[in-house]
Chains A and B, each alone.
Chain A
Amino acid sequence: MVTILKKEKLADTVTRIVVDAPMIAAKAQAGQFVILRPTEEAERIPLTVADYDREAGTVTLIYQIVGTTTAKLDALACGDAILNMAGPLGRASEFEGMHNVAVIGGGLGTAIAYPQAKALHELGAKVDVIAGFRNKNLIILQKEMEAVADRFFLMTDDGSAGEKGLVTDALRREIEAGAGYDAVIAIGPPVMMKFVSLLTKTYGIRTVVSMNPIMIDGTGMCGGCRLTVGGTVKFACVDGPDFDGHQVDFDELIRRNAMYRKEEEASFAAYREASHEAHACRLQTMGEETT
């Protein structure tokens, strides 16, 4: 049982929680993740450690409500407990040889990119952050990113904030302008990571991507998170989650991530209907009590 100490809405459907997990906080490093199960009937899901405080013994997690399990997690309030949490899992990110880096976050991936940008900044690297969102309502961690970035570029698909365009537009422009990056870290939807990797490959810039595939145990036990990297099969949970973006088979990853789309949508629809009915019931009861 892990207690939620703080809970804060960052954007539409995006929430940040701080949880009391001293053993995980003592060990966590940038790039690692936890596996949690909010309630008995829920799935086990991986969430990247967005931040940690070793002294306070707390871990920060950021999630987007995309399905039943994240909705169940979001139904918990401050002071409530998450039923199970194990971590830190996965290999920590390696920053060796990175002195001038573009860190790219796409959507919720920005939450995973932030600890990397922060770690690089603390190591003394020059860090440009390019963060992309669909629209201004989905922007997260702008202030945090600005605090650790030498330069911060905000992109939105519809131009409702920052520049209109994709993260790859900004990246190409900065590379062409002579930014001289020795590494690019890209974290976001697989299709974004794919196009960043294709772009950087043409410039020969080392590129690290962070995988977030379907996962159950997070300890190498099930192979559900397997992906092809440089022609060999890797398990994201124990071999990653960071991999060389130029070696990852993104098309396979995208296909595998869609494996349960139908089941997930049906489950989420049923959950929303049930919670809507429960809500309607409560309103009705309240109404009866007041009259």
Chain B
Amino acid sequence: MPNMQKEKTPMPEQAPDVRNKNWGEVAEGYTAEQAMNEAARCLRCKNSPCVTGCPVGVRIPDFLALAAQGDFEGAYAVIRTTNSLPAVCGRVCPQENQCEGKCVRGIKGEPVGIGRLERFCADFVMKKKKENRNATPAATSDADGGREKAKRGRVAVIGSGPAGLACAGDLAGRGYAVTVFEALHKAGGVLVYGIPEFRLPKAIVADEIESLKAMGVEVLCDMVIGRVISVDELFQKGYDAIFIATGAGLPRFMGIEGENANGVYSANEFLTRINLMKAYREDYGTPIKKGASVAVVGGGNVAMDAARCAKRLGAKEVHILYRRSEVEMPARREEVHHAKEEGVVFEFLTNPTKILTDDKGNVTAVTVVSMALGEPDASGRRRPEVVPGSERELSVDTVIMAVGTSPNPLIRMTTPGLDTDRHGCIVTSDGVTTTREGVYAGGDAVTGAATVILAMGAGREAAEKIDAYLSAKH
């Protein structure tokens, strides 16, 4: 019999006014008992609506059934058959729009905490693996495996974010020799430079990457493809197929007056200084402006991350300025909830028009206008329009622009024959196949900025297409 408890089993969390002063993970995760209790809430619906909501098709009822019995390793194995980064997805997927959004239990209560359980199973197994590794060191060696794999073909993956890692994991599993090229000094892409420690501990990302390496995947950092080697040169070096997963890393600005003032950051810069470059730690040399009063412009997950980081750096006041209303906000619901709890102030229907500075070019205030929602626009959301005469000033010393990103132009500029659209997104015929033979692409580089799980879905899709392409060729 399923557990008919209406609400999700609560997950222990750090208290809001404690955690907004530290960088430790907000949600502390279930205990084994809590996990079994929550997994038992699954009704095992015959048509599994939850699975249809998952971009990588995790067999949710199957893994929940095993978890309910306390077989977390078995549950993890089920997840891993379709998802190569469960510890990450359990933490950052927008489950409310995906699996949990389709859960039947959500009709008369709260859906099953699928994300929390995915996270628990992954953490459980990772912890166990670590204990074993410590007990029997030097057990993993894949040098021979790597040579064996080269027989099926060599694949270069450009970018080590979610799309690249998912593709690399799937291809390695199918017996290919895979090299992942990362431009920054640490692998993980947005999981490392973008998503903060308190939401996704970097040790977890490192563990996931270690798991891939143990499968024989080679990861090379400090490699800016397009500069140090071009896509064409990768083919010359003996790669049989290439997957471009370079993301959407080019920050957009609003084009308003004062945007180049000292104290105005792109969210990418602000988050990179904190997450990749550890500006919050005393032992790191990375400087950052610790604003006392901060305005974050935007309503997505990146805006939430920036606002919550600003709070943790010691800001007294953090305002989110979003030009539409709360319902249109694209951020994951849990992040909005957490941000509010931590004292972030939301100014909906508010848009900045100008950034004011002192004579040294430092930010002193931002001029904003109120907005009202008109008719729906191309995105289906109601178009925000300026309310006449609503101009006011908000006194701040830091402004963070989280108004979206575009694909990086480096690959497109250096790869002849690779078509892109007017937004700079790589053109594909089926979501992953580009206009160049043997070259595939996926994730934000194709779709523009989206989610971790959609990028991973594209990575898996590309792995399948690459496998079919190379199998036919050889």
Write the residues of chain A forming the contact surface with B, with a CB cutoff of 8 angstroms: 23-24, 27, 37, 41-44, 68-69, 72, 83-89, 216-224, 226-228, 233, 238, 252, 255-256, 258-260, 263-264, 267, 271
Contacts and interface: CB of A to CB of B under 8 A. Distances in A.
Contact of A221 (B272, B277, B284): B272
A68 B282 CA distance: 14
Interface string B369-410: 000000000000000000000000000000000000000111
Interface in B266-314: 266, 268-269, 272-273, 277-278, 283-289
Give the 10 A-B residue pairs with the shortest CB-CB distance, closest first: A222-B269, A263-B287, A255-B361, A84-B185, A86-B222, A260-B287, A223-B266, A221-B249, A259-B262, A223-B251
A255 B359 CA distance: 10
A228 B288 CA distance: 22
Contacts of A218: 224
A1 to B, nearest CB: 9
Contact of A86 (B223, B272, B361): B223
A69 B287 CA distance: 11
Interface in B211-241: 221-224, 227-229
B360 interface: yes
B183 A217 contact: yes
A263 B288 CA distance: 8
A33 B386 CA distance: 44
Contacts of B262: 255-256, 258-259
B269 A86 contact: no
Given A43-B286, A44-B185, A86 B228 contact: yes
Contacts of B283: 41
B124 interface: no
A86 B224 contact: yes
B287 A223 contact: no
Nearest to B406: A220
B228 A88 contact: yes
Contacts of A23: 228-229
B260 A256 contact: yes
A27 B227 contact: yes
Interface string B45-56: 000000000000
Nearest to A84: B185
B222 A221 contact: no
Contacts of B286: 43
B184 interface: yes
Contacts of B285: 41-43, 68-69, 72, 267, 271
B198 interface: no
Nearest to A71: B285
22 contacts: A27-B228, A27-B229, A41-B278, A41-B283, A44-B185, A44-B277, A69-B285, A84-B185, A86-B228, A216-B272, A216-B277, A218-B224, A219-B183, A219-B408, A222-B266, A223-B266, A224-B269, A228-B260, A233-B253, A256-B361, A259-B262, A267-B287
Nearest to B357: A255
Chain B interface category by residue count: 35 or more
B250 interface: yes
A221 B268 contact: yes
A44 B279 CA distance: 12
Given A43-B277, A43-B286, A84-B185, A219 B224 contact: yes
Contact of B360 (A83, A224, A255): A255
Contacts of A84: 185, 221-222
B180 to A, nearest CB: 15
A222 B286 CA distance: 14
Contacts of B222: 84-86
Contacts of A226: 253, 260
A222 B185 contact: no
Given A84-B222, A226-B260, A238 B277 contact: no
A219 B410 contact: yes
A223 B277 contact: no
Nearest to A249: B260
Contacts of A217: 183-184, 272
A72 B285 CA distance: 11
Nearest to A251: B361
A89 B283 CA distance: 28
B278 to A, nearest CB: 8
Nearest to A214: B287
A182 B463 CA distance: 54
Nearest to A218: B224
A88 B227 contact: yes
Contacts of B268: 221-223
A259 B261 CA distance: 9
A25 B227 CA distance: 12
A238 B361 contact: no
A27 B283 CA distance: 35
Contact of B409 (A88, A220, A223, A233): A220
A69 B277 CA distance: 13
A223 B253 contact: yes
Contacts of B251: 221-223
A179 to B, nearest CB: 36
B178 to A, nearest CB: 19
B161 to A, nearest CB: 12
A102 B408 CA distance: 35
Contacts of B284: 41
A222 B260 contact: no
Given A221-B193, A224-B269, 20 more contacts: A37-B185, A41-B284, A43-B286, A68-B285, A72-B285, A86-B185, A86-B222, A87-B224, A87-B227, A87-B228, A89-B224, A220-B250, A221-B249, A221-B268, A221-B272, A238-B409, A255-B361, A256-B260, A259-B289, A267-B287
Contact of B260 (A41, A44, A227, A271): A227
Contacts of B259: 233
A100 B193 CA distance: 46
Nearest to B286: A43
A54 to B, nearest CB: 14
A271 B184 CA distance: 26
A256 B278 CA distance: 22
Q: Which of B253, B263, B361, B409 has the most CB of A within 10 A?
A: B361
Given A23-B228, A88-B227, A255-B361, A220 B184 contact: no
B249 A220 contact: yes
